[in-house]
Amino acid sequence: MKTTIQLSHKSVVVDFQKPLDISIPLQATHQNPLAWYQDKPVIAPVKMGDWVGKVSKGGSVNFNNVFFNPHAHGTHTECFGHISETFYSVNESLKTFFFLAEVISVTPKKHEEDQIISEEQIAASLNGKTPEAIIIRTLRNSTSKKSKHWSNTNWPFLHEKAALFLRKMGVKHLLIDLPSVDKEEDDGKLLAHKAFWNYPRNPRKDATITELIFVPNTVKDGSYLLNLQIASFHNDAAPSKPILYKIESSF
């Protein structure tokens, strides 16, 4: 069923019956993606005396505790509170949830011992477009990203100038299929995070970064409607479920 959505400066027609999920589900196995030197998530039934919260073990309901880290265990959305001394919640940062987005595919380029995503690569991929949100798919792309253990891999990262370029063009929501927009070990510099959020000088409170997404190869580069939903955590970051919808037409 096709629906017309009115955004701030454009109306788009999408089919809400054809969602393109680019989140990675959390599971309590080693098939779950892992980063930041953390072990797998834990999902286990509550035990109170002789009662176990698992129907197959005699409980009346399935009643699990879940232990995980948003940054290390899957798709998550974060605000500048991730790097600020004072507390700020992502639940305060994200107040609207539909955005015009551009999916781009980038092959990180070698720079000394690292692989970086440069301003020039992003500018070439956008080709003059100025979306509210950008989704960066790194190449080569495969389903192995959905279960990859990223710790100690020195993953590719966004160059500070690239993050600054996105901020200056007005991109509010940055999504990427890596554990971080920054280098795994950078002595706490967090250059891309700071450049994108304009921190600490004048933090963009309504800007977000979403990491550890997975964009299937069947999702082609181009323009989409993004529905960026987060769990209502009073925290710097929360698990999230970004969904794309192909734009049938716009006016």
Domain boundaries, the chain: 2-39+70-250
| 39/23 Cα distance (integer angstroms) | 20
Binned at pLDDT 50, 70 and 90, residue 9 comes out as: confident
CB contact at 8 A, 75 and 241: yes
Residue 225 tokens read as 């409607």
| 78/76 Cα distance (integer angstroms) | 7
How many CB atoms lie under 10 A from the CB of residue 71? Answer: 18
Work out the end-to-end distance of the chain between its first and last CA atoms, rounded to an integer number of angstroms.
Answer: 18
Task: Read off the pLDDT of each residue in 94-112 and give the average, rounded to a whole number.
Answer: 97
Indicate if the pLDDT at residue 1 is higher than 90: no
Task: Read off the pLDDT of each residue in 26-52 and give the average, rounded to a whole number.
Answer: 97
Q: Which pLDDT value is given to residue 95?
A: 94
CB contact at 8 A, 239 and 70: yes
| 39/49 Cα distance (integer angstroms) | 28
Residue 14 corresponds to which amino acid? V
- Mean confidence (pLDDT) of the chain: 97
Rg of the chain (C-alpha set) = 19
CB contact at 8 A, 137 and 104: yes
pLDDT digits (tens, 9 = 90+) for 143-179: 999 999 999 999 999 999 999 999 999 999 999 999 9
| 10/103 Cα distance (integer angstroms) | 18
Residue 136 corresponds to which amino acid? I
Q: What DSSP state is assigned to residue 118? A: -
In sequence order, what are the residues at sequence separation of 6 or more whose Cβ sits closer than 8 angstroms to the Cβ of residue 126? 102, 104, 134, 169
Task: Read off the pLDDT of each residue in 128-147 and give the average, rounded to a whole number.
Answer: 97
Q: Which pLDDT value is given to residue 195?
A: 98
CB contact at 8 A, 82 and 236: yes
Binned at pLDDT 50, 70 and 90, residue 8 comes out as: confident
Q: Which CATH architecture has domain 2-39+70-250?
A: 3-Layer(bba) Sandwich (3.50)
| 133/102 Cα distance (integer angstroms) | 6
Q: What percent of the chain has pLDDT over 90?
A: 97
CB contact at 8 A, 78 and 91: no
